[in-house]
């Protein structure tokens, strides 16, 4: 009922593009992720995470009644960010996921393999965030925020990978990366919001 009401609300009071994207997000989360992927594949949050990226497109279309490459880049930032955000959490609660029968990657793979995947996705996240600079015409505010916060994000990811290679994962603190990943995405989107208000062109 809430889903139907929200789609109609967007369609009648905002625009039908944002309403259809919202409907797609609900269908992806309920059907594709929760019912199909969650208990069947270790890649559940990679592809199921698409639903979590949809608010970027919904918000953009609600304001502009259109989509653009800048919106797509922001969508991809959230897409690539989801695994290095969520896999450290599931490393910490690996036994709980295993007991619940949810095959998160840390349940079915060695910690070194999981940590390598975290690093790869972290690099993809940061590089995609930098792609927004030319695509979205971002200035110094966003650039500095994206570079500095992205650098820390990569540092923490590599730190997790190094610790994962130690015997028994000695010194591994996956929740440290999990918590910073939240701060990282917050900072990047604050940069997106503030840069146009205090725009300092790069060139």
Q: 123-152 pLDDT, tens per residue?
A: 999 999 999 999 999 999 999 999 999 999
| The dihedral sign for the CA sequence 119, 120, 124, 130 | positive
pLDDT of residue 79: 97
pLDDT of residue 169: 67
pLDDT of residue 55: 95
Q: 87-115 pLDDT, tens per residue?
A: 999 999 999 999 999 999 999 999 999 99
pLDDT of residue 170: 67
pLDDT of residue 171: 74
CB of 40 within 8 A of CB of 88? no
Dist CA 97 CA 88 (whole Å):
13
pLDDT beneath 70, residues of the chain: 169-170
Domains of the chain: 1-65 (no CATH), 68-203 (1.20.120.1780)
Dist CA 104 CA 95 (whole Å):
10
- Other Cβ atoms less than 10 A from the Cβ of 130: the count is 18
pLDDT of residue 199: 86
pLDDT of residue 90: 96
Q: What are phi and psi of 104, to 5 degrees?
A: -60, 155
What's 9's DSSP letter? H
pLDDT of residue 172: 81
């Amino acid at each position: 009922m809430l889903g139907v009401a929200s789609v109609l609300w967007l369609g009648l009071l905002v625009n039908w593009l944002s309403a259809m994207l919202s409907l797609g997000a609900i269908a992806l989360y309920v059907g594709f992720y929760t019912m199909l992927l969650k208990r069947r594949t270790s890649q559940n949050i990679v592809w199921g995470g698409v639903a979590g990226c949809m608010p970027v497109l919904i918000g953009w279309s609600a304001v502009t009644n259109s989509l653009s490459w800048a919106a797509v880049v922001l969508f991809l930032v959230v897409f690539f960010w989801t695994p290095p955000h969520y896999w450290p959490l599931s490393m910490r609660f690996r036994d709980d996921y295993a007991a619940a029968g949810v095959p998160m990657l840390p349940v079915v793979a060695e910690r070194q393999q999981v940590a390598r995947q975290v690093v790869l996705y972290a690099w993809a996240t940061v590089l995609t965030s930098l792609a927004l600079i030319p695509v979205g015409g971002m200035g110094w505010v966003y650039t500095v925020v994206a570079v500095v916060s992205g650098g820390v994000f990569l540092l923490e990811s590599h730190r997790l990978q190094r610790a994962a290679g130690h015997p028994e994962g000695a010194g591994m603190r996956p929740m440290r990366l999990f918590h910073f990943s939240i701060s990282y995405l917050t900072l990047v989107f604050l940069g997106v919001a503030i840069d146009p208000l205090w725009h300092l062109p790069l060139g």
